[in-house]
Chains A and B, each alone.
Chain A
Amino acid sequence: MPPFKRILVANRGEIALRVIRTAEEMGIETVAVYSDADRTAMHVRRATHAVHLGGSKPSESYLDIGKVVDAAKRTGCDALHPGYGFLSENEDAAQACIDQRIEFLGPPPNAIRSMGDKVEARKIAMKAGAPIVPGLQEEVDEKRLAAAAKQVGYPVMLKAAAGGGGKGIRIVREEKQLLEAFHLARAEAKSAFGDDRIYLEKFVTRPRHVEIQVMADKHGNVVHYGERECSVQRRHQKLVEESPCMALTPEMRAQMGKAACDLARAVGYVGAGTVEFLHSEGKFYFLEMNTRLQVEHPVTEMRFQVDLVREQIRVGAGEKVAPVPEPRGHAIEVRVNAEDPNSFFPSLGLIKRMTMPGGPGVRLDSALYRGMEVTPYYDSMLAKLVVHGADREQAIARCKRALREMRIVGVSTSLPVALRALQSTEFASGDYDTGILERIERKPPSAQRELAMLAAAAARFLVAERAGAGSGAREAGETTPPWALLGRAERLRRATP
């Protein structure tokens, strides 16, 4: 007997598809919800049922608790999976589900509330015995800002109290940048979370971002699946994650695991959660707890041969959390974002064609399809490439190989940046920190440039040649798409005896 009859998946993109896949394997029906922009999205097509929510803006669809919970009620769902982002860390959404007797596949509302407020979370973590980065525990205002920064010592970080996903964060190296950074962080926090409270903490040297995956059931059992190293970041957003982390000793791993489980217990946690730590020069500090399934959860899944969504569903239904299997080998995830590889600005457009990687040890989580429009409404992540290898060296080689296989045409992507990061000696050594992307090669290797320029010229030559063969008009190649020209040339060739 499946633990639930029907789950509403309150999300979109790859994570909605990810949840639908596991639910289908467990014999549970799914209800997809969608906005105007997502009518033809993969999650709508792959779910058992689909409900239209409204406009393309998240506030009119995926963020509208009333609409989402009403859709769950109307379609007879007995559970709701929030995915990540959107309503996943929204205590009101969790409460609305409880009120409607729908199982919210996430922690109880008060756990979301206390961990969601980063200032409050630090206090609880401290009480639970986790080390904390020096800083101001309460929100700062403009008046106290400069004095507080001076007291903690530059460089300092400004962070949104309601933060997450790298939004509302600014590093400030000297006082004259402080005020502008404060206003930018505030505006960003206000727009992303509707809450402009900012707190301040010391920016630690050579920081690594290491997090522990936990899973808790309703019987008071909490387990952890070791760590994920997430230090390869741009604009404070993760780009490459791996497990295990090369900087941890077995003792440290055990300490962090225990701290994470203790914290989960302290807030009465249920379901999947991640406790993030800052690792700096052999020490670790509590950063925050993300009360949701994380983007990078497949790294853990590959290494532990566990399906974390399945575990979420099982513990949500009141079952006990399964024992943690022994980890094997090494796993790496690369996020493929629609963004300019140099500026990291979002890149929008139509996915004209794509080639996805395959072969041994390769997993691709994506809701990408040919003809998909990358819009400004949603997150820019297109796909997650996850690889597993017998050891780190094999995992890196495999990841590089898979990245070279992958092609996405229509928007620019972070693929080249990820490849250069993996090719860097810094990454290979395992001794890196969150600044790694600022130090790696920003440009394609010079040996490849001339080849690429030759390929570009040759492509234009061939396009012009084929256009010439078809119409006699050499200029046609500049206005007619090459595939149209190809078709024309092919038809002509066939027509010629």
Chain B
Amino acid sequence: MKYTTKFDGDERCFQIERHAGVLTARIGDKVFGLDLALVGDGATFSLLVDGRSYDVVADVQREQVTVQMLGEQFVVHVEDERERAAHAVAGHKKGGKRELRAAMPGIVVDVKVAAGDSAEEGQTLVVLEAMKMQNPLAAEAAGKVTRVLCKKGEAVAAGALLLELE
């Protein structure tokens, strides 16, 4: 099976196969011998790559795999061939719309723009209070606010759509 993995702007394709019980991974013209064993807790893996040992925790949530190894955490997007093909079809529908979403659950303590306003890059659009901290949420790039979907005093969930810009 061929997997396309994406992490922080990097993309790598791995061809992972098992032949006669032996697991291999191919990337480009490199081939690694893999030995992967799942520990009893269901999410810890002992991974041997050409005999080198890694203690890996991988939380597989559909295509998002959160990997903890070597003291770091990597949220890796992993698609197999079939998913990749399905996404290629769906990928044509996106416009120039941008969204401001709540990075965490909290309370909207201020909305600094209204629909129709133009916002500069870095301008504070919404102030969200979470865990007693006031978190200014800024525009990632300059644009025009098309819709305001939150109001002052409102409690919002993580990922809630706050504003739309274009």
Chain A: residues with CB nearer than 8 A to chain B? 167, 180, 184, 187-188, 191-192, 235, 340-341, 343, 345-348, 352-353, 355, 376, 378-380, 400, 403-404, 407, 409-410, 412-413, 415-416, 419, 443-445, 448-466, 477-479, 481-487
Task: Indicate if the CB atoms of B130 and A346 lie closer than 8 Å.
Answer: yes
- The distance in angstroms between the C-alpha atoms of A452 and B6, with both chains bound, is 10
Task: Indicate if the CB atoms of A454 and B103 lie closer than 8 Å.
Answer: no
Task: Indicate if the CB atoms of B104 and A452 lie closer than 8 Å.
Answer: no
Task: Indicate if the CB atoms of A459 and B3 lie closer than 8 Å.
Answer: no
Report which residue of A455, A479, A482 has the largest number of chain B beta carbons within 10 angstroms of its beta carbon. Answer: A455
Query: Closest CB-CB distance, A340 to chain B, in whole Å?
Result: 7
- In the bound complex, residues from chain A placing their C-beta under 8 Å from that of B43 are 352-353, 409, 482-483
Task: Indicate if the CB atoms of A456 and B59 lie closer than 8 Å.
Answer: no
Query: Closest CB-CB distance, A164 to chain B, in whole Å?
Result: 11
B49 at the interface (CB under 8 A from A): yes
B132 at the interface (CB under 8 A from A): yes
Task: Indicate if the CB atoms of B132 and A184 lie closer than 8 Å.
Answer: no
Task: Indicate if the CB atoms of B60 and A463 lie closer than 8 Å.
Answer: yes
- In the bound complex, residues from chain A placing their C-beta under 8 Å from that of B63 are 478
B99 at the interface (CB under 8 A from A): no
Task: Indicate if the CB atoms of A452 and B57 lie closer than 8 Å.
Answer: no
Contact of A347 among B7, B44, B57, B104 (CB under 8 A): B104
Task: Indicate if the CB atoms of B74 and A345 lie closer than 8 Å.
Answer: no
Task: Indicate if the CB atoms of B134 and A188 lie closer than 8 Å.
Answer: yes
Closest B residue, CB atoms, query A418: B71
Contact of A455 among B45, B129, B131 (CB under 8 A): B45
Quick one: which of B58-82 are within 8 Å of A by CB?
58-60, 62-63, 65-74, 76, 78, 80
- In the bound complex, residues from chain B placing their C-beta under 8 Å from that of A407 are 44, 57, 68
Task: Indicate if the CB atoms of B49 and A451 lie closer than 8 Å.
Answer: yes
Task: Indicate if the CB atoms of B74 and A458 lie closer than 8 Å.
Answer: no
Main SS at interface, chain A:
helix
Task: Indicate if the CB atoms of B47 and A455 lie closer than 8 Å.
Answer: yes
Contact of B131 among A379, A419, A449 (CB under 8 A): A379
| A457 with B78, Cβ < 8 A, contacts A235-B133, A403-B71 known | yes
Contact of B104 among A192, A348, A461 (CB under 8 A): A348
Report which residue of A352, A459, A462, A463 has the largest number of chain B beta carbons within 10 angstroms of its beta carbon. Answer: A459
- In the bound complex, residues from chain A placing their C-beta under 8 Å from that of B62 are 478-479
- The distance in angstroms between the C-alpha atoms of A479 and B23, with both chains bound, is 24
Contact of B72 among A348, A419, A457, A486 (CB under 8 A): A419
| A456 with B103, Cβ < 8 A, contacts A180-B124, A187-B109, A188-B134 known | no
Q: Mark B120-157, 1 if CB is under 8 A from A, else 0.
A: 00001001011111111000000000000000000000
- In the bound complex, residues from chain A placing their C-beta under 8 Å from that of B49 are 451, 454
Query: Closest CB-CB distance, B145 to chain A, in whole Å?
Result: 18
Task: Indicate if the CB atoms of B12 and A453 lie closer than 8 Å.
Answer: yes
- In the bound complex, residues from chain B placing their C-beta under 8 Å from that of A457 are 3, 5, 14, 16, 25, 76, 78
| A348 with B14, Cβ < 8 A, contacts A341-B73, A415-B73, A460-B78 known | no
Closest B residue, CB atoms, query A450: B12
Query: Closest CB-CB distance, B47 to chain A, in whole Å?
Result: 6
Q: Can you list 28 A-B contacts with CB-CB less than 8 angstroms, sorted by A residue number? A: A188-B134, A345-B135, A346-B131, A376-B106, A409-B59, A409-B66, A449-B7, A451-B69, A451-B70, A452-B67, A452-B69, A453-B74, A453-B76, A454-B12, A454-B14, A454-B27, A454-B49, A455-B47, A455-B58, A455-B69, A457-B78, A458-B36, A459-B67, A460-B3, A462-B36, A478-B62, A482-B42, A484-B42
Task: Indicate if the CB atoms of A486 and B42 lie closer than 8 Å.
Answer: yes
- The distance in angstroms between the C-alpha atoms of A376 and B3, with both chains bound, is 36
